[in-house]
Amino acid sequence: MRQTLSVAICVIVSLVLGALVTRYFHPHWILATLHSLQLHFAIACVVAMLVAVALHRHPLVYALLACAVILTAHTFYMTRDLAVSFTDTDAAAPTFRLMSFNILSDNFENADAIATAIIGSGADVVNVMEAAPLYNQLARLSETYPYRLGCGVIVLNDCDQLMLSKVPLENASVRTLSDIFENRFILAQVTLAGRRINIGGIHTTKPYFDNFHTLELIRAALAITDTDGPLILSGDFNASSLAPNMRAFLKWTDLHPASWEAATWPIEAGDFGVPIDHVYVRSPLKIKRLQRLSDALGSNHYGLMAEVAITGP
């Protein structure tokens, strides 16, 4: 019985590992969600194989355990290899704050609390996804954030992607990245700490809708690479930075994640969830601090607050 159970575990783990390693050869959108959850599944495979070893010791069981450990180690490496760390030499650099939050499109009962949280956040720029609940709060928000894009500015027919700012938003553009949703990519320029900075807000579709997720990332990358100088992009990508197309996107655009990305979804999982909401920066910007908002305020995502340093000319 113990041997049979060990064999069953090995079969399941081998199938999961086989699906995960497809990322290294030919990643497919059907497995995109699995690749986003690679760290979770890799750790689960290690635990399962330890159980299998305890049940029945055999060279093939140990070999499969070794494969799971190697994959887990490489996954941990991938969580850090594209990040640029904030160092002591950057301590004197001027900073600004950005808030990014998918508030959930039907979260109307918490609209007042969300607006209060935004106003009290101290953020210089705020990117909001699924912003419809804030439509009736715009006048109140404009007292702190007199400049905005979306929800009646440039985008006239809906209130979905929204950018709020304490300083003027210049050279603004709003793009549709695919036929799934309209107007979910905003790009503008602001002047903060005397520097001209490109600010982007994005909300991509879910990665299991055929190749639309990759198509949207490509179109966003083309827009980003047309800009020069410091750039910060935030939003709901519906995928972790581990996903193959997400890693390709970061390399195409020379964007970098924080050294540690907080889990933002699902909120029920807390720290064991998946970081699918991101703040990415391009040199000379560095993320000094990235924090998850303590209260989801009725959303199914946690929001993020980033303190960003301007570390170079």
- Over residues 138-177, the pLDDT tens digits come to 999 999 999 999 999 999 888 999 999 999 999 999 999 9
Shared domain for 21 and 167, answered yes or no, is: no
Percentage of residues in the chain having pLDDT higher than 70: 100
Shared domain for 63 and 184, answered yes or no, is: no
Q: How many CB atoms lie within 10 A of CB 288?
A: 18
Shared domain for 45 and 119, answered yes or no, is: no
Domain boundary pick from 13, 47, 78: 78
User: What is the domain-level CATH number for residue 117?
Assistant: 3.60.10.10
Shared domain for 184 and 38, answered yes or no, is: no
pLDDT of residue 20: 94
Over the stretch 84-139, which tens digit does the pLDDT of each residue have?
888 888 888 999 999 999 999 999 999 999 999 999 999 999 999 999 999 999 99
- Of 120, 157, 116, the closest CA to residue 134 belongs to 116
Cα angle 72-77-81, degrees, rounded to a multiple of 5: 155
| Interhelix angle 59-78/38-55, nearest 10 degrees | 160
pLDDT of residue 128: 98
According to DSSP, residue 23 is labeled G
At residue 1 the predicted structure's pLDDT band, cuts being 50, 70 and 90, is confident
Cα angle 161-280-41, degrees, rounded to a multiple of 5: 95
Can you say how many angstroms the Cα of residue 117 is from the centroid of all Cα atoms in its chain?
21
Which residues 6+ apart lie within 8 Å of 35 measured at CB?
Answer: 20, 23, 27, 242, 243, 244
Span 251-260, mean pLDDT? 95
pLDDT of residue 58: 83
Domain boundary pick from 26, 54, 78: 78
Span 195-222, mean pLDDT? 94
Over the chain, what is the mean pLDDT? 94
Which residues 6+ apart lie within 8 Å of 119 measured at CB?
Answer: 140, 141, 143, 144, 145
Can you say how many angstroms the Cα of residue 254 is from the centroid of all Cα atoms in its chain?
15
Can you say how many angstroms the Cα of residue 81 is from the centroid of all Cα atoms in its chain?
16
Is residue 186 a part of any domain in this protein?
A: yes
Domain enclosing residue 56, as ranges:
2-78
Span 66-79, mean pLDDT? 94
Distance between CA 159 and CA 243 in Å, rounded?
Answer: 29
pTM score: 0.94
Over the stretch 229-244, which tens digit does the pLDDT of each residue have?
999 999 999 999 999 9
How many independent structural domains does the chain possess?
2
Is residue 83 a part of any domain in this protein?
A: no
Span 181-191, mean pLDDT? 96
Residue 3, both tokens: 């041997």
At residue 76 the predicted structure's pLDDT band, cuts being 50, 70 and 90, is very high
Is residue 113 a part of any domain in this protein?
A: yes
Shared domain for 44 and 111, answered yes or no, is: no
Is residue 140 a part of any domain in this protein?
A: yes
- Of 263, 272, 255, the closest CA to residue 290 belongs to 263
